[in-house]
Amino acid sequence: MIAIGWLGLGLCLDVSIKRASLRPVPRQGTLALAMAAFSASYCLSLLSFIFFFSSGILLCTEARRLSLCSQVSKELFDKIFLHKDDNACPAKNFYTYDSFLNASKFFPKFGATGSSETRKREVAAFLAQISHETTGGWATAPDGPYAWGLCFKEEVSPQSNYCDSTNKEWPCYPGKSYKGRGPIQLSWNFNYGPAGKALGFDGLRNPEIVANNSLIAFKTALWFWMTEQKPKPSCHDVMVGRYVPTEADIAANRTAGYGLVTNIINGGLECGIPNDGRVSDRIGYFKRYVELFNVDTGPNLDCENQKSY
């Protein structure tokens, strides 16, 4: 399509130049000039279209994420996050589609493992979980409570500075808060430290960068999603069918599915509790998104019968 567009542009420019160079004739001069002006305007419009269309293709190619691009177009991304750039959202204009795609190139297996249905379900699960973590929705919100993901970029009024002083491998830096930041609301020094090491920033001395840099924010969310932290499996492995439960997992009823992903992310506070509202919110986002991706949810949506890690 782009090649055809460039060919069309070349032809219309050739015609425009020839028309513009015609020697004016008293009775036809005005008409010739009008035709030349129209041709030039048409060419500029065509050039704008080609630039807009090809820039999106180049972004996908550059990021080597053609599979993810085909699953999550800019149009679908905007449909999923209907209100992320509203004035009511503190993270307005922070979480961009380009940052999401560019972050994904550091994790080539994300959204690229298994069947087409499996890939779409994994991406839907990831987007649903980060939507809950950053939600600005409420029961009677416009377009429903599950259209308000990516509304916040950092935790508001944190209960503590999230420093585990017993962790000597990733010691807290004086005066720093390791509160929730970014799409996954990365929290605690023992997450900021290894995330920074893996992604090339100092997570202990400069945790604020997760709320100040959109690309790094998405990279931390994908790092958490893709990284196994024993005894927890990675969220990725759970959603693509590579999770192999241990005897302890079986005894704790930690069965594969979206509910286990919730357990990995925040099971200590949300799992093993009947009808927990936070779990229901995560499920609500997931159900909306799988419908947009035209796939089913898979089994085991909640974690009320699972023991946390």
Cα separation, 162 vs 51, whole angstroms: 46
Structure confidence at residue 39 (pLDDT): 52
How would you class 120 by CB atoms within 10 Å of its CB: exposed for 0-12, middle for 13-18, buried for 19 or more?
buried
Q: What is the CATH number of the domain that holds 144?
A: 1.10.530.10
Cα separation, 141 vs 218, whole angstroms: 26
Q: How many CB atoms lie within 10 A of CB 303?
A: 28
pTM of the model as a whole = 0.81
Give the residue with greater pLDDT, 10 vs 19. 10
In a domain, 50, yes or no: yes
- Is 106 found in the same domain as 194? no
Q: What is the CATH number of the domain that holds 193?
A: 3.30.20.10
Inter-CA distances, 120 with 26, 74, 286, 290, Å:
64, 15, 12, 8
- Is 148 found in the same domain as 77? yes
Overall average pLDDT of the 97-121 stretch = 97
Of residues 95, 80, 63, the one with CA closest to residue 210: 95
Whether the pLDDT of residue 117 is over 60: the answer is yes
Beta bridge partners of 232: 229
Note whether 200 and 179 are within 8 A (CB): no
Cα separation, 307 vs 297, whole angstroms: 22
Structure confidence at residue 87 (pLDDT): 98
> Sorting pLDDT into bands at 50, 70 and 90, what band is 54?
very low
Would you name the residues annotated as active-site residues?
A: 133
Cα separation, 68 vs 101, whole angstroms: 8
Note whether 164 and 138 are within 8 A (CB): no
- Is 201 found in the same domain as 129? no
Structure confidence at residue 59 (pLDDT): 53
> In this prediction, what percent of the chain has a pLDDT beyond 90?
77
- Is 114 found in the same domain as 246? yes
Number of domains in the chain: 3
- Is 164 found in the same domain as 51? no
Structure confidence at residue 5 (pLDDT): 52
Of residues 174, 148, 125, the one with CA closest to residue 292: 125
Cα separation, 233 vs 228, whole angstroms: 5
> Sorting pLDDT into bands at 50, 70 and 90, what band is 51?
very low
In a domain, 246, yes or no: yes
Overall average pLDDT of the 26-30 stretch = 45
In a domain, 85, yes or no: yes
Q: What is the mean pLDDT of the chain?
A: 87
In a domain, 44, yes or no: yes
- Is 169 found in the same domain as 112? no
147-169 residue pLDDT tens: 999 999 999 999 999 999 999 99
Note whether 243 and 233 are within 8 A (CB): yes
Residue ranges in the chain assigned as alpha helix (H)? 2-20, 29-62, 66-71, 74-80, 97-104, 116-133, 189-199, 214-226, 235-239, 247-251, 258-270, 277-293
- Is 304 found in the same domain as 241? yes
- Is 254 found in the same domain as 239? yes
In a domain, 221, yes or no: no
| Last-in-domain residue among 42, 62, 82 | 62
Structure confidence at residue 60 (pLDDT): 63
In a domain, 223, yes or no: no
In angstroms, how far is CA 18 from the centroid of its own chain? 48
Encoded tokens for 237: 């492995």
Cα separation, 23 vs 45, whole angstroms: 26
- Is 299 found in the same domain as 241? yes
Q: List, in order, residues 6 or more apart from 299 with CB less than 8 Å away.
A: 255, 256, 257
Per-range mean pLDDT, top range of 1-5, 21-25, 213-217: 213-217
Overall average pLDDT of the 52-66 stretch = 48
- Is 41 found in the same domain as 182? no
In a domain, 222, yes or no: no
**Structural domain of 183:** 158-212
> Sorting pLDDT into bands at 50, 70 and 90, what band is 69?
confident
Structure confidence at residue 70 (pLDDT): 86
Note whether 295 and 254 are within 8 A (CB): no
Structure confidence at residue 32 (pLDDT): 46
Of residues 217, 123, 208, the one with CA closest to residue 173: 208
- Is 77 found in the same domain as 55? no
- Is 146 found in the same domain as 281? yes
In a domain, 220, yes or no: no
222-266 residue pLDDT tens: 999 999 999 999 999 999 999 999 999 999 999 999 999 999 999
Overall average pLDDT of the 109-130 stretch = 98
> Which SS3 state, helix, strand or coil, does residue 7 take?
helix
Overall average pLDDT of the 292-298 stretch = 99
- Residue 24: left if φ>0, alpha if ψ -120 to 50, beta else—which one? beta
Structure confidence at residue 72 (pLDDT): 97
Overall average pLDDT of the 62-71 stretch = 65
Structure confidence at residue 257 (pLDDT): 99
